[in-house]
Structure 1
Amino acid sequence: MIVATAVCPHPPLLIRELGGGQDVAAELRKECESALEALAAHSPDVLVVIGGHDSSGEHTERLVPVREFGGTGERVSRERTLPLSLGVARRLIESVGYRGRVETATVAWDASADEVEALGRRVADRTERVALLVMGDGSARRGTRAPGHLDERAFGFDEEVRRCLSEGDRAGLLRLDPDLAADLMAAGRAAFQVMAHALASTGGPVGPKVLYADDPFGVMYFVAVWPCDSF
């Protein structure tokens, strides 16, 4: 039973030590922490984290990939570190002091409709009280200095995601075009659709709220909370 869902992005700068002396992601991190606190307030038996990656699978590693993105500390092999999306989630969870059980998994950026549906159903079929944290970014082509440079289609795509998150529109998230998402480097498409499938058997989100929707680095970031009426 899913009691609440939250969406957060996963830029490396949410890992605090990567920001140096100027914490340029402070506002975004604060809203992400608010979303995590909202999930914890529902007293889940388990916090399930789904994030995008090159491939789908469960992850039991605990090390955050700080060195991979220019930070300091012990140099470790990639096999011992979490994928970026889950590493950012781990840091956010630690920052709010959450001590409950956490399980983490990835969904491939290019996951098919069948794959995202199957993963969503596995989450939905759990009998425990589940809080679902979905890690995913919007498009990365919202300006000339964006990672993917400017693509005017990015604005309409991201506005549709924002609308879906603000209205609790699960069907709208499932209509997101995988090919367009890939063109726009929208890293959250598959994860958002896993969330939509996971909530298919619930009565839907109650009072969905977008806490943040902006593109400070040319990439669209969303923070949203969906309490569920199964709570």
Structure 2
Amino acid sequence: MSVVYTMCVPHPPLIIPEIGKGREQEIHKTIESYQEVMKKAASYHPETVIVISPHSIMYSDYLHISPGKHATGNFGTFGASQVSFSEDYDQPFVLHLVDACEKAGIPAGTLGERDPHLDHGTMIPLYFLEKYTHDFQLVRIGISGLSYATHYALGQAIAQTADKLKRRVVVIASGDLSHKLKDDGPYGFAKEGPIFDQEVMQYLAAGDFLNLLSFDYDFCENAAECGLRSFQIMAGTLDGKKIEPHVYSHEGPFGVGYGVVDFTITGNDESRHFAKQLEKRHEEKMAVLKAKEDPYVKLARYTVEYYTKHHTLPDMPENILDEMKTKRAGVFVSLHKDGQLRGCIGTFQPTCTCIAEEIRQNAISACSRDPRFDPVREEELKDLVYSVDVLGAVEPIEDISQLDPVRYGVIVSHGRKRGLLLPNLPGVSTVMEQIEIARSKAGMYDDEKADLARFEVVRHT
């Protein structure tokens, strides 16, 4: 057999009666939907159930697959320890999946498990499924900070493993939608929240996995989404399959989006190989971006690409702007890949003879000397997005009222400790957030007083 049925479901703890204690009726549509899809899942008599959970072990650069023979868990964290689970893992499936990932170059495996206990993102779907069947083994998989395409590729490896082992496999993608749908919700409101929910549900309803894989990373972060990467792994298990999606419900009374959608497999469809389509779309997007880069960014890209390939500094190009050759300033060069920071090094005061030289030196440092990252590899160059921030004068300030996280960067200092944060960064919306991040970068204790300074930047993209 193979993957026979898949679904996307949420995991609000309140949906469990022993936790909700009556409040679960506020999401009764989700409960009814859960019952329907789990009854349908049981009708397939799955030998293996794969649960993909954002609350399992998560790493930025590695997809974790739970190891071992057995796992237990309960809802003690939510005051209901009497609701417990004891599950057997499908060890042969895990071993073959890890091998398939290794052959496909997917950074996934069973290493680095910090907590073997089942998480609530796994247990909530099991709570409903086990009302109808217990006759299966479990595979638990987490998500990561890797690209959307990598998560989809893991789904493809899951399907290949199911085919190879001739397992009847049900795939459950556990994940909420946006956590920022309402002002009075626990996470507040963001304008991206309702838009995210609407678009995800639209794409799932249409089986439009290409657009499900094409969300902007900053947009998703602002929406405070939970389950997108779970859904993308599930989508990968359906690569090349003809499907019939069905939306059962979508609600968000607590300010968090809960959607229930399933996918019935009805055959094969060669037009639904989305990995290649996504790669083509990405190449087109990068070509447009590179064509629009200004001279500051072009110099940074040229320097990084030459240095990564030849391990030496290139000659200075002849066609750089006069202002880049005659002016001096501090410069930060930032590299991003798949929406994630890939390197950022800079100088808040000029250290070179001109801005152009400052860009070259900091571009090399950003791609090869940022202690947070491994050096950039040659195969990554085509996927890098650059920005160059040219800093204005540093101004000491007396009060935080003189700061604005959109307009000004901040420098905090105490003795030899110094931390800098650029302005207008995704996820940094308040002065206090800006200061706390800068203090952390400086290695300051909570009770250490700090001198503050601000600066403006001109950001080149």
Q: TM-score range by the shorter chain?
A: 0.7 to 0.9
Higher strand share: 2
Contact (CA 8 Å) 1:171, 1:196: kept in 2 or not?
Answer: no
Structure 2 distance, partners of 1:168, 1:194, is 14
Q: Matched residues in 2 for 1:131 and 1:72: separation? A: 27
Corresponding residue to 2:80 among 41, 46, 71: 71
Residues 1:214 and 2:251 are matched in the alignment: yes
Unaligned runs of 5+ in 1: none
Distance 1:46 1:180, change over 3 A: same
Over the residues paired in the alignment, what is the CA RMSD in angstroms?
Answer: 2.4
Given the two structures, how large is their TM-score scaled by the length of structure 2?
0.46
Q: 1:152: Cα distance to partner?
A: 1.2
Q: In structure 2, what residue type is equivalent to 1:49?
A: V
Q: Measure how far apart 1:230 and its partner are.
A: 3.6
* Structure 2 Cα separation of the partners of residues 81 and 115 of structure 1: 26
CA distance in 2, matches of 1:110, 1:179: 13
Gaps of at least 5 residues in structure 2 are 85-113, 269-461
Determine if contact 1:48/1:130 at 8 Å carries over to the other structure: yes
Instruction: Establish whether residue 86 from structure 1 lines up as the match of residue 122 from structure 2.
Output: yes
Match of 1:62 in 2: 72
Aligned to 1:5: 6
CA contact (8 A) 2:6 2:264 kept: yes
Q: Distance in 1 between matches of 2:189 and 2:152?
A: 31
SS in 1 for 2:65: strand
Work out the percentage of aligned pairs sharing the same amino acid.
25
Cα distance per residue 1:32-65 (max 9 Å; x no partner):
121111222233332221121251423342323x
Q: CA deviation at 1:175?
A: 1.4
Aligned to 1:133: 172
1:48: which partner in 2?
50
Question: What pairs up with 1:14-29 in 2 under 5 angstroms?
Answer: 14-24=15-25, 25-29=27-31
- 1:73 deviation in Å? 4.2
Question: Deviation above 6 Å: which 4+ runs of structure 1?
Answer: none
Quick check: which has more Rg, 1 or 2?
A: 2
Task: Write out per-residue CA displacement over residues 182-212 of structure 1, whole angstroms, 9 at most, x where no aligned residue.
Answer: 222210011011112221132x312x11001
2:53·2:174 contact (CA, 8 Å) conserved in 1? yes
Q: Does 2:137 match 1:102? A: yes
Return 34-43 or 82-91, whichever deviates more. Answer: 34-43
Q: Deviation of residue 17 (structure 1)?
A: 0.6
Q: Provide the secondary structure at the position in 1 that maps to 2:181.
A: coil
The range that moved more, 24-33 or 219-228, is 24-33
Which residue number in structure 1 is paired with residue 211 of structure 2?
172
User: Number of paired residues?
Assistant: 225
Structure 1 CA distance for aligned equivalents of residues 214 and 181 of structure 2: 21
Q: Cα–Cα, structure 1 residues 100 and 72, in superposed 2: closer, same or farther, change >3 Å?
A: closer
2:202 is equivalent to residue 200 of structure 1: no
Q: CA deviation at 1:119?
A: 1.9
Give the conservation status (yes or no) of the 8 Å contact 2:52–2:143: no
* Code of the aligned partner of 1:51: S
Given that 1:6 and 1:36 are in contact with CA atoms closer than 8 Å, whether structure 2 keeps it comes out as no
Letter aligned with residue 187 of structure 2: G
